[in-house]
Amino acid sequence: MARKEWAKRYAMAIFQLALVADPAKINEILDSWSGQLELAEQVSSQADFRRFLLHAKVPVEVKADKIKKVLVGVDSLIHNLLINLISKGLLQEIPRIQIEYQKLLDRHRKVERAEVFSAISLSKTQKQQVATYVEQLVEREVILTSAVDETILGGFIIKVGDKLLDASIRTKLGRMKRDINSAKTVALVSPMGNRGVKKNE
């Protein structure tokens, strides 16, 4: 099975357990486990701790005990997840599992995440305008983050899921250049392009 599919299966299992853990506190549990997964990803990515977890000669019981001491207050489900991933050689999948879990959580809450890239930092008002625009496109609540990309000449690029909305000046100029070159090519190959040209006899 592809590693990406492993991550999706683990994320789905955790998410489904969160949904039935305590119906009265479902939102609290969903958010808590999301934060705990993020914490587990951060801790397990630290070089020294990662080497310890992946060391073949360290018994699983010792690793489990260390995880409990490092991740104080974290649910036993997350502890067991780490041990399970270690035993299967899938520890590096923690970041992907966290991402897949967040996707499930967003889908459950009918939320879409978007990111806007611009040449300069956007103001709070501009970010709100972009968020409103994207919400109209996707017809759901949008959580917007922004980043500066100095390679953009002007305008902006919006990423929603795996889709890109490119409204940058650089792209518009590139499109204009292609249109102009295309028009020149059509003129050269068109029969109309030969009018007025005197042939040598």
Residue 120: predicted pLDDT: 86
| Mean pLDDT of the region 153-174 | 73
- Its domain, for residue 21, covers 3-107
Arithmetic mean of pLDDT, 49-70: 91
Counting residues of the chain whose pLDDT is more than 70, the rounded percentage is 81
Q: Which pLDDT score, from 0 to 100, does residue 39 have?
A: 93
Cα 108-110-113 angle, rounded to 5 deg: 105
Residue 184, φ and ψ in degrees, nearest 5: -65, -40
| 30 and 77 both lie in a single domain | yes
Q: Is residue 124 part of a domain?
A: yes
53 or 182, greater pLDDT = 53
The verdict on 142 and 168 lying in the same domain is yes
Whether residue 173 lies inside any domain: the answer is: yes
94/134 same-domain check: no
Of 75, 107, 139, the residue at which a domain comes to its end is 107
Contacts of 68 (CB under 8 A, 6+ apart): 79
Residue 37, Cβ density class (10 Å: 0-12 exposed, 13-18 middle, ≥19 buried) = buried
Mean pLDDT for the chain? 83
pLDDT tens digits, 86-100: 888 888 999 999 999
User: Cβ distance 44 to 52 under 8 Å?
Assistant: no
Q: In terms of domains, do 163 and 132 share one? A: yes
Q: 87 and 159, same structural domain?
A: no
